[in-house]
């Protein structure tokens, strides 16, 4: 089953794509990764019913104190790798994300992949 999900993720051609946002909602139950597809659309991968989320950022190395104060060219988040494997917990997956200056490991029950129209998106760095 994870091979099917891995293949679907790889069909987004995510390698070296610019990441527009990463959102963690509902007390960590849902995580959304939004990244570049083309001038008109973006990809959204949703990790749902999350059991565990571990991540490391570049906060100890960056010169700008807060990411929310950055402009788009300063962000530097690019997808290097996404891997999906079955977790020891039955019915769950372990996803490892290498986002260049951020690494994440998620254990979740469901993964959805959607193409969304860029006109429906807004980001903190656009203000």
Residue 84's pLDDT is 96
47 within 8 A of 107, measured Cβ to Cβ: no
Of 44, 39, 46, 50, residue with least CA distance to 12: 44
**What is the reported pLDDT for 92?**
95
* Residue 125: partners with Cβ closer than 8 Å, 6 or more residues away: 70, 71, 72, 75
pLDDT of residue 112: 96
User: Tens digit of pLDDT per residue, the chain (127 long)?
Assistant: 468 999 999 999 999 998 888 899 998 999 999 998 999 999 999 999 999 999 886 666 656 556 555 555 556 678 999 999 999 999 999 999 998 888 999 999 999 999 999 888 876 656 6
């Amino acid at each position: 089953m994870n091979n099917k999900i891995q293949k679907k993720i790889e069909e987004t051609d995510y390698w070296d794509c610019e990441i527009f946002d990463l959102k963690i909602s509902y007390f960590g139950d849902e995580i959304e990764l939004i990244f570049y597809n083309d001038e008109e659309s973006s990809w959204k991968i949703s990790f749902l019913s999350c059991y565990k989320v571990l991540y490391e950022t570049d906060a100890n190395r960056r010169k700008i104190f807060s990411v929310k104060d950055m402009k788009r060219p300063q962000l530097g988040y690019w997808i290097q790798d996404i891997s999906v494997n079955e977790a020891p917990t039955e019915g769950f997956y372990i996803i490892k994300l290498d986002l260049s200056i951020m690494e994440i490991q998620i254990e979740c029950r469901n993964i959805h992949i959607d193409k969304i129209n860029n006109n429906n998106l807004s980001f903190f760095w656009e203000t």
